[in-house]
Amino acid sequence: MEIRNIFCVGRNYRLHAEELGNEVPKSPMIFAKPTHALAEASGQTIQLPGDRGEVHYEAELVIRIGKPYQHGMTVDQLVDHLALGIDFTLRDVQSELKKKGHPWLPAKGFRNSAVLTSFREFPGEQACKQTDFSLRKNGQQVQRGNISDMLFDLQTVIDFIASHFGLGEGDIIYTGTPAGVGPVANGDRLQLLWGDEVLGECVIKLV
Ligand code: ZN
């Protein structure tokens, strides 16, 4: 499936904003990744930078936009597929960038920083709220989230992105991570679950 723009929402879950000592934002905080950052979580080994401080996992629900945005369209009209993703983050690099007031790209946009499971049909926003997503590291659950806990819901995020940056078919949105982020180590096995079902997994190699 063709992927065009990759948008991401920062600090969209209160407990995650607080665990990093960040203020809860008053409007959606959006950043983007290059498509070169994409990597599929289909069981393979994924290489991440091992020489730039801690690399953190951030498990997130990812939605795919299925048609050109027009004002007034609902989430269920616009979104055609969902996946789970990991928004990998160079946390130490990000802290330095924040201090300097520089853009986040070096901390968020590196190769393989946008991991994605396969896509499945979007069941509708209400149905999504019935299912938790989670991340297991080496067999243990480290993050669990539900989109009902988002600070800015899918409609707000979609409308915000569309009005500021444009939004169209093939764009995907990483919708933010719940609490529990942490570093990966060489050989870690990460599994992304939708309810009880594993949608994708990968093994980490720091290089
Ligand atoms: Zn994130």
Instruction: Report, as an integer, the average pLDDT of 94-100.
Output: 96
**Cα–ligand 1 centroid distance for 66 (angstroms):** 22
**Cα–ligand 1 centroid distance for 59 (angstroms):** 7
Residue 1 has pLDDT above 80, yes or no: no
Q: Which helix (H) or strand (E) holds 84?
A: strand 79-87
Instruction: Report, as an integer, the average pLDDT of 136-158.
Output: 97
- Report the DSSP pairing between strands 133-137 and 140-145: antiparallel
**Cα–ligand 1 centroid distance for 96 (angstroms):** 17
- Specify whether the CB–CB gap between 90 and 53 falls below 8 A: yes
pLDDT tens profile 122-146: 999 999 999 999 999 999 999 999 9
pLDDT tens profile 66-81: 999 999 999 999 999 9
**Cα–ligand 1 centroid distance for 77 (angstroms):** 25
| Region of 190 on the Ramachandran plot (φ > 0 left; ψ -120 to 50 alpha; else beta) | beta
Binned at pLDDT 50, 70 and 90, residue 176 comes out as very high
The protein residues having their C-beta less than 5 angstroms from ligand 1 (an ion) are 58, 87, 177
Binned at pLDDT 50, 70 and 90, residue 23 comes out as confident
**Cα–ligand 1 centroid distance for 176 (angstroms):** 5
